[in-house]
């Protein structure tokens, strides 16, 4: 069962990175034919599609920050953290590797890079991931994420955040999505912020959701961190 879940996470994250960063690469090589307005919904739509495709198998985390967020919230066992994160990173690296083969001259392969100061992008990534994780916690069950509400809400918030913040910070919200193209393309100068900020943002969302839980609006189950 664990192998099946990990395979689902690898395939789902591969699809996310291949479609999302692929849209960025193709936009660059086609003189802007895709456009930022096309790139942003690509990320949201591929996540929505993967939630419907593998959500009942693995939960469709597709993101180490989300996996850690579910663990922080007590919805995910500690024993599966490393297998999930490894599978997500593997899928992301395969996607970036395929894009490197297809577009060998492209300099960044869709690497997330700050357009301004690092601190600006760090804060943006933290807040964006906070919002994303807060939405995920409120529309999902943590184990099986195939509901219509979960898919639409999560896909929509990713597209929305990519639309308004992507030009400044890249709107990654996902360490695996940033790690793979950065290492494959060799652009690791700002990688740290895309690894740290999403995890902190997801953790902060847990505290916010627990505060809402006390008010009865964000139910979280008892901790199950075995």
Q: How large is the average pLDDT for residues 11-20?
A: 98
- Give CA–CA dist 41/20, Å, rounded: 9
Q: How confident is the model at residue 226 (pLDDT cuts 50, 70, 90)?
A: very low
CA quadruple 190, 131, 38, 60: dihedral sign: positive
Give the chain's domains with CATH numbers: 2-214 (1.20.1080.10)
CA trace torsion 141, 13, 15, 157 (10° rounding)? 50
Q: How confident is the model at residue 210 (pLDDT cuts 50, 70, 90)?
A: confident
Average per-residue pLDDT for the chain: 92
**For the segment 137-162, what is each residue's pLDDT rounded down to a tens digit?**
988 764 445 556 789 999 999 999 99
Q: What is the pLDDT of residue 211?
A: 84
N residues, the chain: 226
With beta carbons less than 8 A apart as the criterion, state whether 199 and 65 touch.
yes
CA quadruple 89, 156, 129, 5: dihedral sign: negative
Rounded to 10 deg, the angle between the 81-102 and 64-72 helix axes is 170
CA distances from 136 to 39, 149, 201 (A): 22, 10, 13
Q: What is the pLDDT of residue 207?
A: 92
**For the segment 23-79, what is each residue's pLDDT rounded down to a tens digit?**
999 999 999 999 999 999 999 999 999 999 999 999 999 999 999 999 999 889 999
Q: How confident is the model at residue 179 (pLDDT cuts 50, 70, 90)?
A: very high
Q: What is the pLDDT of residue 209?
A: 87
Q: What is the pLDDT of residue 30?
A: 97
Whether the per-residue pLDDT at 225 is higher than 50: the answer is: no
Look up tokens 């456009």; give the residue.
Answer: 35
Range of lowest pLDDT (4-18, 111-125, 131-145, 168-182):
131-145
């Amino acid at each position: 069962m664990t192998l099946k879940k990990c395979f689902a996470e690898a395939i789902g994250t591969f699809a996310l990175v291949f479609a999302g960063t692929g849209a960025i690469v193709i936009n660059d090589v086609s003189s802007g034919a895709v456009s930022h307005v096309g790139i942003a919904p690509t990320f949201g739509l591929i996540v929505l599609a993967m939630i419907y495709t593998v959500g009942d198998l693995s939960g469709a985390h597709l993101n180490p920050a989300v996996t850690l967020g579910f663990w922080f919230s007590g919805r995910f066992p500690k024993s599966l953290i490393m297998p999930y994160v490894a599978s997500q990173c593997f899928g992301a690296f395969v996607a970036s590797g395929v894009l490197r083969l297809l577009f060998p001259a492209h300099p960044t392969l869709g690497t997330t890079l700050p357009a301004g100061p690092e601190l600006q992008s760090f804060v943006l990534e933290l807040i964006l991931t906070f919002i994303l994780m807060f939405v995920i916690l409120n529309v999902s069950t943590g184990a099986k994420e195939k509901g219509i509400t979960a898919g639409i809400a999560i896909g929509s918030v990713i597209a929305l955040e990519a639309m308004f913040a992507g030009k400044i910070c890249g709107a990654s919200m996902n360490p695996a999505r940033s790690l793979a193209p950065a290492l494959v393309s060799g652009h690791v100068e700002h990688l740290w912020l895309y690894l740290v900020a999403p995890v902190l943002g997801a953790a902060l969302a847990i505290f916010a959701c627990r505060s809402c839980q006390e008010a009865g609006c964000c139910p979280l189950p008892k901790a199950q961190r075995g």
